[in-house]
Amino acid sequence: MQIFSRLALLLLAFLLSSQGLWAAKKPRPSKKDEVVTISTNLGDIRLVLSELTPQHKANFLKLAKAGFYNGTTFHRVIPGFMVQGGDPNTKDADPGNDGLGPANEKTIPAEIIPQLRHKQGALAAARQGDYVNPQRASSGSQFYIVQNPGGTPQLDGSYTVFGQVISGLAVVDKIAQQPRDARDRPTSDVKMTVKVEKLKKKKITELYGYQY
C-alpha cells in the first residue's frame, strides 16, 4: 500500500506540474500582420498597428475594413508637426464642422504605452483636451500621423500612439505642405480611401524594411 500511495502521489504531482506548465504557455505570436494602406491623390501611406494597444488596433481595423474612412479627408495639417484625419464630418459639405466629430461619439480608453513614442511616422489617436477629458480617452475614429522628422516628444505620455508608418513618409510630407486656411484645413480636400491586407511578417520586412 505504501508503494502504491507513493506512486499515486508522484503521478498527481506530475499531472499538477504538467498542468501548470501548460497553463503558463503563451499563445504563439502570429506569423502574419495587417498592413493598412491609406490612399490619397498625393500617394499611398502604409502602416502597421501595435499589439501593445489592442483596443485601438481592433477599433481602427474594424472601421477600415467597413469602409468608414473612405471619402474622409485630412482636415488639419501643420507642417513640422502632424497631419490629422478620420472625422466622418469631413464627408459633408460643411467645412466648419470638420474635426468636431459626430455628437455623442464613443471614445476608446487610453492605451498610453511608454515605449510607443511620437517619433516621425507615428500613428496616434486624437482626443479632446484634458480639461473635459482627464482620462485622456481617444476619439472613436480621428487619428494623426507625426510629420516632424524629429518627432513630437512633447506629446509622449498624453496621447495614445498605436501604429507606425512603414512606407510613404514622403506622402505625409506632401500632405503637411498643402495650402491651408486659418484653421489649418487644406484649401483643397485631401481625401482618403483605406484598405487592410494581411501579409506574412517576413514579407512585410522584405517589402518595407519594418523590423518586428
| pLDDT given at position 30 | 87
Four-residue CA torsion sign, 175, 177, 182, 187: negative
Domains annotated on the chain, with CATH: 32-208 (2.40.100.10)
Beta strands at 143-146 and 122-125: parallel, antiparallel or unpaired: antiparallel
Tell me what pLDDT residue 6 has: 55
Q: What pLDDT, on the 0 to 100 scale, is given for residue 25?
A: 62
Position 22 scores a pLDDT of 43
pLDDT at residue 121 in the model = 98
Closest CA to 75 of 96, 105, 61, 57: 96
Predicted pLDDT at 21: 44
pLDDT, residue 90, reads 95
**Would you give the distance in Å from CA 38 to the centre of its chain?**
12
Neighbouring CB atoms inside 10 A of 112's CB total 17
Q: Among candidates 203, 120, 207, 201, which has minimal Cα distance to 165?
A: 120
Dihedral of alpha carbons 104, 63, 61, 116, sign: negative
C-alpha cell at 194: 483605406
Question: pLDDT value at position 29?
Answer: 76
Letter for the amino acid at 194? V
Name the pTM for this structure: 0.86
pLDDT of amino acid 147: 98
Burial class (CB in 10 A: 0-12, 13-18, 19+), 173: middle
Per-block average pLDDT, block size 10, for the chain (212 residues)?
50 50 62 97 98 98 98 97 96 88 91 98 97 96 98 98 98 98 95 97 96 91
